[in-house]
Amino acid sequence: MYSLPRSRRVRFRPSEPPQEHIQGSQWWTDYQPVSYILTSKRGNRTQFENMITTCHNAGVGVVVDTIFNHMTGIASGTGDFHHCGLEPGDAIVNWDNTLEVWTCQLDGLADLGTDTDYVRGVLAAYANDLLSLGADGMRLDAAKNINVSDIANILSRLSGTPYITQEVIWGAGQPVTPNEYTGNGDVQEFRYTTALQNAFLGGGISSLESFDNLGWVPGTQANVFVTNPDTERNGGSLNDNSPSNTYVTAMIFSLAHPYGTPTILSSYSGFTNTDAGAPNGGTGTCSGSGGLNGWLCQHRWTAVAGMAGFRNNVGDSALQNWVSPQSDQIAFGRGALGFVAINNDDSAWTTNFVTAVPDGSYCDVISGASLEGNCTGSSFSVSGEHSAQPFQSERRCNPHRCNGHRFRQWTSSEHFVVGSISQLGDWDPASAIALSAASYPVWTVSVSVPANTEFQYKFIRKETDGSIVWESDPNRDDTSPASGSQTIDTSWR
């Protein structure tokens, strides 16, 4: 399972391929389809639809792992497949040959003739079937092995505009590149995964400030991840067995940094047998802030869940106030809405930080959530010239059970307007009207007030510890116009 938080306030839960596949308990059997009937080792069509409904009721969208490139390997026959004739057994051998990459067989799997109208129609019908059941998007497996124009043609036949992300693995000097697929949707950027692995395992995380200047997929279309089902098994990324908490800290970074749309893999432990399928016959067991009976359930880890909320809160806010006193210590802000500090060094880091978040108290979302205005974990204060109070952090802590000493995040306190009329809460802070920080440093709100009505009002700030901060006296006075609207431009005092 994946979790794919978008930069806007949406959450996605990508599902594994739901169509009928070859038999076997190995995890990779899911990626060898034999038909487009929605029956797999996870359930049938009705159960798949019920899963989507359950996710939607929880405010979570569903992106389906979709296979357009191939069917399972077959020993003979022609059918609607490519037979490139370029290599023995039609296998892909030379990745420097575009025709071979697009028309020969990947790992012996029957390569679909996606350049034919019939195959395009069948694949589009399958995708539209998924969308009719409520799917919100698709991850196109092995997209690199499909001609870009073939994918474009198939997508042009879909109902609506679902979210699309494409698996296109970059290879040095190879002619088929991730960037040429951006016209079809987002593209998975595997170089990012390698960069995080190298940086967190000794290369220095100070190198991770910017990615948009590297010639990679632009951040607005990059789908990034710390690990995926392939790389966590083949050593191509960090995973749950990585040392010194680097796996969870890299996920913290990925959810905090504005580059790309991050994917979080939720999986199971082990990998002594890299072919092994999911434990308990594929029946997931997630509980509390983790998993049971071999399941990791990374999406439930306190740090990961907290940072998913952090990312939704900061939205598209720019990265600023980057600080890196040495190669394995970084801190940065996301506009006025959040701040993160990460220490990947064995020694403690004690310092103050300059941040753009307004004065107030903030929850460390790594150690616990904000619940009804109160922090369930640690909290921090910002005051004066927006300098966060000092903290100590160090590298040593157990993976995903770390209590937050290695990294700190802040999300901004909330501002409200309250006043003398019912439309402004009758001076009751509990009924105050929330202001939006979407245009920070300008906070805005629209309120409907009866015509020709005199009223008084003040701005307040609700701190994460539940306390209320009122701006200075006296009360503000105003009268609503006889018709139309009125804009009040003022400042906190």
245: left (phi over 0), alpha (psi -120 to 50) or beta: left
pLDDT at residue 281 tops 50: yes
Phi, psi of 327 (to 5 degrees): -65, -20
For the segment 335-361, the average pLDDT, to the nearest whole number, is 88
pLDDT at residue 126 tops 90: yes
What is the rounded distance in angstroms from the CA atom of residue 254 to the CA atom of residue 263?
A: 9
What is the rounded distance in angstroms from the CA atom of residue 452 to the CA atom of residue 448?
A: 12
Q: Which amino acid is at 144?
A: K
For the segment 437-451, the average pLDDT, to the nearest whole number, is 72
Which among 90, 100, 111, 167 is annotated as catalytic? Answer: 167
For the segment 436-456, the average pLDDT, to the nearest whole number, is 77
pLDDT tens string 79-100 = 799 999 999 999 999 999 999 9
What is the rounded distance in angstroms from the CA atom of residue 178 to the CA atom of residue 159?
A: 25
Q: What is the pLDDT of residue 10?
A: 39
Q: What is the pLDDT of residue 91?
A: 96
Nearest to 145 by CA among 213, 77, 71: 71
For the segment 95-108, the average pLDDT, to the nearest whole number, is 98
Question: Which has more pLDDT, 350 or 433?
Answer: 433
For the segment 19-39, the average pLDDT, to the nearest whole number, is 93
pLDDT tens string 160-171 = 999 999 999 999
Of 170-184, 242-256, 449-463, which range is least confident?
449-463
pLDDT at residue 321 tops 90: yes
Residues with Cβ within 8 Å of residue 149, at least 6 apart in sequence:
none
How confident is residue 399, by pLDDT bands cut at 50, 70 and 90? very low
Question: Which has more pLDDT, 488 or 7?
Answer: 488
Length of the chain: 493
pLDDT at residue 108 tops 70: yes
For the segment 457-461, the average pLDDT, to the nearest whole number, is 90
Of 6-15, 16-25, 254-263, which range is least confident?
6-15
Return the bridge partners of 70, or none: 111
How confident is residue 396, by pLDDT bands cut at 50, 70 and 90? very low
Of 4-8, 115-119, 211-215, 265-269, which range is least confident?
4-8
Q: What is the pLDDT of residue 381?
A: 82
372 has catalytic annotation:
no
E strand or H helix that includes residue 237:
none
pLDDT at residue 232 tops 80: yes
Q: What is the pLDDT of residue 385?
A: 53
Q: What is the pLDDT of residue 11?
A: 52
141 has catalytic annotation:
yes
How confident is residue 397, by pLDDT bands cut at 50, 70 and 90? very low
Question: Which has more pLDDT, 263 or 271?
Answer: 263
For the segment 423-429, the average pLDDT, to the nearest whole number, is 93
pLDDT at residue 401 tops 50: no
What is the rounded distance in angstroms from the CA atom of residue 208 to the CA atom of residue 192?
A: 10
Of 94-103, 196-205, 398-407, 408-417, which range is least confident?
398-407
pLDDT tens string 48-64 = 999 999 999 988 899 99
Structural domains in the chain, CATH included, are 11-314 (3.20.20.80), 319-388 (2.60.40.1180), 404-491 (2.60.40.10)
Q: What is the pLDDT of residue 398?
A: 41
Q: What is the pLDDT of residue 439?
A: 56
For the segment 249-275, the average pLDDT, to the nearest whole number, is 92
pTM value > 0.75: yes
Average pLDDT score over the chain: 87
Task: Give me the helix-helix angle, 302-314 and 246-256, nearest 10°.
Answer: 10
For the segment 310-315, the average pLDDT, to the nearest whole number, is 92
Phi, psi of 296 (to 5 degrees): -90, -40
Q: Give CA angle at 388 (195, 212), nearest 5°.
A: 25
For the segment 385-405, the average pLDDT, to the nearest whole number, is 45
How confident is residue 394, by pLDDT bands cut at 50, 70 and 90? low
Q: What is the pLDDT of residue 400?
A: 42
What is the rounded distance in angstroms from the CA atom of residue 222 to the CA atom of residue 200?
A: 21
Return the bridge partners of 460, or none: 416, 470
How confident is residue 468, by pLDDT bands cut at 50, 70 and 90? confident
Which among 141, 240, 364, 463 is annotated as catalytic? Answer: 141
How confident is residue 387, by pLDDT bands cut at 50, 70 and 90? low
Alpha carbon 236 to its chain centroid, in Å, reads: 20
The CA distances from residue 309 to 105, 126, 365, in Å, are 41, 33, 8
pLDDT at residue 475 tops 60: yes
Return the bridge partners of 469, or none: 461
486: tokens are 């009125």
| DSSP string across 107-138 | TTPPBB-TTSHHHHHHHHHHHHHHHHTT--EE
